Amino acid sequence: MKNFHVSRRAFLRRCTTAAAVSGLPLWFVERQLAAAESPAPKEPAANDRPGVALIGAGGQGTGDARNAANWGDILVVCDVDAKRAAEAAAKLKAEGKPAPEIVADFRRVLERKDVHALVNGTPDHWHTLVNLGAARAKKDVYAEKPLTLTIDEGRRLVREVKQSGVILQTGTQQRSSQRFRLACELVRNARLGKLLSADVWLPAGLREGPFASAEVPAELNWDFWLGPAPFTAYVPQRCHRTFRFWYEYSGGTMTDWGAHHNDIAYWAIGLVAPTQVASRVLAQPIPGGYTTFSDYEVNYTYANGVNLNIHTTRDDSIYGGKVVADGQRNGIRFEGTQGWLWVNRDRIVASDPEILKAPLPEGAVRLYESKNHMENFFDCVKSRKAPICDAETGHRSANMCHLGAISLRTGRTLTWDAEAEKFTGAHAAEGNAHVARELRAPYDYTFVG
């Protein structure tokens, strides 16, 4: 009995320390640590480590692959930029092992029997073709967000993943954050009373230009980089990190940071999609420059009366700009009839401390728990269970961002039929023109078999 009390006291000390460091309520930390104290799994044997290939060797993709190396062996690095591929291969070389092989065409990776899983870190306009190729080749895939460039691509991908039985994890890693899961559980369990609204603050995008074309770098296959997007002369600002500010390749901050925070709002609200979306452009793009909108507002209405409002702010820690004085930037505020809750990657606070401090009762709604997004992916690769952000979830989450981007691009208030996945009513034709895109040959759906 004495040993039990000593152990219990030690456990409570650990919980108290963890709660103080993280800012999470003690009851929530106790629940997390108690679950973590179950018997540890066996260390995997060498042959338990799947072979992994990185496709898209930019900063995000390379970071994902370095994380994946904790559970698998990085065998191949694939990129249409030979310099980037070589740099990534050098960073991903494991001690005592040869550097990963470098490949330029990801279809060669799909043919390899020693590659079991992919990390897809390509630009957004390539996400779907790589993911479809992975599904058809029976390769599991950790797919960077947003899952797709268009709504139609998501429908195709969900169908293919379901038919193939592969594991697909969408890289919206905030779902594996304790803070965000706690916030969503509190909202789902009416700790704020009836949810009235959610406000998401996203960093404003870049508003620059015009840009001049330049000679294509020798190490870059520009035609392959463009892939399914329309052909255009090489402009350095179109490529690599700033690709996300061109509608041909991405959706601006609406689908970049929006893929994270809008996903958490979607998780908390608990409905498949809004019924209506409206928007307001606050700054027009500069002719000849980036095409996505830098400053904007988007407003969604849900069938249960909840309003989700998206705002852009200029934060000097992201993309440049000035700090917002009120501190409400890059995060989410949920407002209910009995209080509010603010959450971002750094903190979670509420209008009343008891909103956080009081434990949820037995039988409360509990959401899928994952403590590490990449680990959850590899756990599911072994168990064949659905990951925390599978293809269907990633598709519905991306759709929220696409709906906002379409409203901004058309300048219309649009009505959305989530079951049919199309716009209806006034201006439906204008909205539906953006649900799919034409893919440039030969980089169309036949490109991956």
Q: What pLDDT, on a 0 to 100 scale, did the predictor assign at position 317?
A: 45
Given this model, what pLDDT does residue 407 score? 98
Question: Which residues of the chain register pLDDT less than 70?
Answer: 1-22, 26-27, 29-47, 315-329
User: What local confidence, expressed as pLDDT, does residue 39 receive?
Assistant: 47
Q: What is the pTM of this model?
A: 0.90
pLDDT of residue 37: 57
Q: How many CB atoms lie within 10 A of CB 107?
A: 15
Q: Tokens at residue 44, please?
A: 């995997």
In the structure encoding, which two tokens stand for residue 384, read together? 């064949």
* Residue type for position 330: N
The SS3 assignment for 427 reads coil
Give the pLDDT of residue 22.
Answer: 65
Select from 36, 28, 30 the least CA-distant residue to 11. 30
Per-residue pLDDT tens for 6-32?
565 655 566 666 666 667 876 676 666
- Per-residue pLDDT, 319: 39
HSE at residue 276, side-chain half, CA atoms within 13 A, is 13
Q: Which of 37, 3, 30, 5 is nearest to 16 (CA)?
A: 30
> Which two structure tokens, joined as six digits, stand for 40?
């540890």
Q: What pLDDT is stored for residue 33 in this prediction?
A: 63
Cα end-to-end span (Å), the chain:
65
Residues 6+ apart with CB under 8 A from 183: 264, 268, 332, 334, 341, 343, 348
Asked if residue 135 lies in contact with residue 120, where contact means CB atoms within 8 angstroms, the answer is no
Contacts of 71 (CB under 8 A, 6+ apart): 44, 49, 50, 374, 375, 378
pLDDT (tens digit, 9 = 90+) per residue, 301-317?
999 999 999 999 876 44
Identify the pLDDT of residue 89: 98
Count the residues in the chain. 449
CB environment 77-102: b (16+ within 10 A), e (fewer): bbbbbbebbbebbebbeeeeeeebbe
- The pLDDT value recorded for residue 8 is 56
